[in-house]
Amino acid sequence: MIEFGHGTHVGLRRTRNEDTYYADASLGLFLVADGMGGHQHGEVASALVRDAVADLVTRGHSLVEAVRAADERLIQHSRGFRDARPMGTTIAALRLHADSYEVVWVGDSRVYLWQKTLRQVSHDHSLVQELVEAGTLDAAQAARHPHRNVITQALGITAAEQLHIGMARGKLEHGTCFLLCTDGLTEEVGDAVIGEIVSRQDLSAQESVEHLLLAALDGGGSDNVTAILARIN
């Protein structure tokens, strides 16, 4: 049985919410997307990718196939606009099967797994993550770096032949929790606090999500913030 909670908030400094999400326990599909671009392009990009992935997975495509095809649809769609700023989006998606899970991501939206401790499953496609992996920065420096929001991969913007879709798979265990979130959460709330909220057994999944959103707003609410928490009971 899957219990899940979900929510999104525009934040305290933005006028539009370019984040979106999808949650369907019967399909076992959960995703968040953080759009970017001029005018309303960010909202359009994230919604187009959300709908395309949900449609393709429903029709039997794998998660990776669905994300790649959604990227192609977004690129085709954006060609109809004459704008200096391309429309793009991140994605972090989870597919639950009977006894296993698969995760895919592009950009810096994240998937965490909680089993007694919190672990980040995804790896940010970002400039600072590349610097951390190269040994140039440590995690504390990365969290304060002025270019920490610069991503190196995005659907609709990265050339299709250069697109790297991150992937992870694992065995599904009773009591596992998955958190999918956009960087509006992780920019304002550290992993320790996220872990404390996710691990609370006295909260429902929906209450946990509401606590996470409130923590992001208390931290400054500098961006749109979106989170989905799925518990395997």
pLDDT in tens, 6-15: 999 999 999 9
| Residue 30 three-state SS | strand
28 alpha-carbon distance from chain centroid: 16
The model carries a pTM of 0.96
Look at residue 140 in the predicted model and tell me its pLDDT: 85
Candidates 3.40.50.150, 3.60.40.10, 3.30.9.10, 3.30.470.20; CATH matching 2-125+154-232: 3.60.40.10
Percentage, residues of the chain above pLDDT 90 = 88
Q: How confident is the model at residue 143 (pLDDT cuts 50, 70, 90)?
A: confident
The residues, ordered by sequence, that sit 6+ positions from 33 with a Cβ below 8 Å of its Cβ are: 19, 20, 21, 45, 46, 49, 50, 89, 90, 91, 92, 109, 182
Helix axes 41-58, 63-78, angle to 10 degrees: 140
Q: Give the amino acid at 124.
A: D
CA distance 91 to 105: 5
Instruction: Give the model confidence (pLDDT) of 69-84 as tens digits.
Output: 999 999 999 887 777 6
